[in-house]
């Protein structure tokens, strides 16, 4: 990523996501779910870290540089695709593991970059992934796993509320946003 060329960084990130998306759509075999999810998680974490690094190195403070980190949420979009397909999401262990890793990585990035809405967006996207998966995971034991997953998601949000309180600067905003996301999530 180039601190001097943020548009090029954003285009390169978007193009890499497009390539992975086309590959994923064409090679949607369930035997490739685990390795495919690892690639998606790796790209998402690379995007999160790269854009934070780019924003820290850049002397520009415009939205293009500062908000490029939101492209890291594309990993959640791929998980939404997986969650919507029973052949790819049952059993859910690879999907849920990658979802947890993405939420933890996004939470750390949000704290470091002081962008609480990034964490809120990740928690909301995770809730959508779980809801999409639950729409076709009605046979036991999957509803119980969905409830446990929802509890884990609420716990991750609560831990990040606590961590944001400990970090100076964004505590009040993160607290309000995370509280709202926890309330909305527990009602679903």
At 59 the pLDDT is 61
Distance CA 41, CA 117 (A): 20
DSSP string across 14-42: HHHHHHHHHHHHHT--GGGHHHHHHHHHH
pLDDT tens, residue by residue, 11-54: 776 777 677 677 666 665 566 778 888 888 888 888 888 877 77
Span 51-88, pLDDT tens digits = 777 777 666 566 655 677 888 898 898 899 889 989 88
Residue 101: pLDDT above 90? yes
Q: To 10 degrees, the CA torsion angle through 151, 157, 158, 161?
A: 180
- How confident is residue 114, by pLDDT bands cut at 50, 70 and 90? confident
- Residue 188 CA to residue 171 CA, distance in Å, equals 26
Report the share of the chain in percent with pLDDT over 90.
32
- Phi, psi angles (nearest 5°) of residue 152: -65, -40
Whether the pLDDT of residue 92 is over 50: the answer is: yes
Contact partners, residue 187, CB within 8 Å, separation at least 6: none
Q: Which of 12-16, 97-101, 165-169, 181-185 has the highest mean pLDDT?
A: 97-101
Instruction: Reply yes or no on whether the pLDDT at 93 is more than 90.
Output: yes
CB 83 within 8 A of CB 89: yes
Gap between the Cα atoms of 42 and 101, Å rounded: 10
Neighbours of 163 (CB within 10 A): 17
Helix (H, G, I), strand (E, B) or coil at 170: coil
For the chain, percent of residues with pLDDT exceeding 70: 70
Q: Where are the domains positioned within the chain?
A: 6-187
By CB atoms closer than 10 A (0-12, 13-18, 19+), residue 139 is: exposed
């Amino acid at each position: 990523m180039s601190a001097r060329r943020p548009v090029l960084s954003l285009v390169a990130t978007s193009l890499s996501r497009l390539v992975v998306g086309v590959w994923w759509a064409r090679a949607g075999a369930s035997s490739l779910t685990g390795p495919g999810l690892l690639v998606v998680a790796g790209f998402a974490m690379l995007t999160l870290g790269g854009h934070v690094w780019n924003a820290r190195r850049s002397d520009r403070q415009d939205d293009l540089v500062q908000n490029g980190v939101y492209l890291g949420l594309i990993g959640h979009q791929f998980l939404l695709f997986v969650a919507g397909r029973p052949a790819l999401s049952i059993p859910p262990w690879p999907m849920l593991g990658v979802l947890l890793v993405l939420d933890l990585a996004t939470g750390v990035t949000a704290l470091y970059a002081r962008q609480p809405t990034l964490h809120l967006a990740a928690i909301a996207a995770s809730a959508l992934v779980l809801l999409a998966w639950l729409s076709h995971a009605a046979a036991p034991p999957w509803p119980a796993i969905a409830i446990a997953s929802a509890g884990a998601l609420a716990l991750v949000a609560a831990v990040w509320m606590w961590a944001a309180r400990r970090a100076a600067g964004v505590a009040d905003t993160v607290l309000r946003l995370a509280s709202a996301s926890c309330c909305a999530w527990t009602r679903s």
